[in-house]
Amino acid sequence: MRTPRLHVERLAPGSSPVELDAARAHYLRTVLRLRVGDRLRLFNAEAGEFEARLIALARDRALAELGPQSRPPVAPSGPELWFAPIRRTRMEWLVEKAVELGVRQLVPVITARTVVQLRRPERLRAIAVEAAEQCERLHVPPILPPQPLNRRLAERDPAIPLLVAVERTDAPPLLQQLTRLASNAPAVLVGPEGGFSPEERALLQATSGVHPVSLGATILRSETAALYALSLIRAILEGES
């Protein structure tokens, strides 16, 4: 079994042992069946990743002693994903896969045709943490509070290109826009089931730095469209590295 890897909010090398909460203690003790003396890897984006060793393991808490640093911290990178909330199981799957594909930030937006409320944000955060642990990322992308599309557009950084997936239009293909913009950290917006309203399309067209793109001839579900775009961006970035 490979060494368990856990995200922790605070890591301070050379200080007191790292305390893990009851949920983590239960996972280590009951699910993984670890014992005192077993090895761990602990990480976060600010401190990097460290080898560690369990020095106490009880039902409601665990303590780990930090060892040497195995990976230095890195600045968050990758694209942003803007998305209209969708049904719970599909949205959880989307968050998990978006983290695996290297998204920098998850940005829920409320549109005219959004019919799902973003409930239990702590559940989505836990899924993002688990995905980062599994895929060897240091950075757990934040999930911002939902905002109406018009407000989010007004607050966005205009220096970051926003690529909007629109269907049944003559917008240029996503690959063509990515090549033209030459941005390694764009934002991608996918709308709700039913697409954007005419007013939202007009707003997006009038907003500086917003670029419509086509994802092909077929009509994709929201989560499929998002992962198609993220996969293409990742393939381009890896081809340039």
Confidence of residue 107 (pLDDT cuts 50, 70, 90): very high
**Lowest mean pLDDT: which of 54-63, 100-109, 131-140, 163-172?**
163-172
Taking CB atoms within 8 Å and a gap of at least 24, the contacts of 28-34 are 28/4, 28/54, 28/57, 28/62, 29/57, 29/58, 29/59, 29/62, 32/1, 32/4, 34/4
User: Which whole number is the average pLDDT over 7-13?
Assistant: 86
Check residue 216 and give its pLDDT.
80
Task: For 17-74, write each residue's pLDDT tens digit.
Answer: 999 989 899 999 999 999 999 999 999 999 999 999 999 999 889 999 999 999 999 8
Task: For 182-209, write each residue's pLDDT tens digit.
Answer: 666 899 999 888 889 999 999 999 999 9
User: Which whole number is the average pLDDT over 130-148?
Assistant: 95
Q: Give the span between the Cα atoms of 98 and 105, in whole angstroms.
A: 9
Confidence of residue 1 (pLDDT cuts 50, 70, 90): low
Task: Give the residue from 110, 102, 169 showing the smallest Cα distance to 140.
Answer: 102
Check residue 171 and give its pLDDT.
85
> What's the whole-number average pLDDT of the chain?
90
Check residue 183 and give its pLDDT.
66
What architecture is the 5-71 domain classified under in CATH?
Answer: Beta Barrel (2.40)
What is the residue extent of each domain of the chain?
A: 5-71, 80-240
* Global pTM value: 0.90
Check residue 175 and give its pLDDT.
87
Task: For 118-138, write each residue's pLDDT tens digit.
Answer: 878 899 999 999 999 999 999
Sign, CA torsion 32/35/41/45: positive
User: Which whole number is the average pLDDT over 2-12?
Assistant: 89
Confidence of residue 14 (pLDDT cuts 50, 70, 90): confident
Q: Which two tokens stand for residue 207?
A: 């907003």
Confidence of residue 176 (pLDDT cuts 50, 70, 90): confident
Check residue 143 and give its pLDDT.
96
Q: Tell me which CATH code domain 80-240 carries.
A: 3.40.1280.10
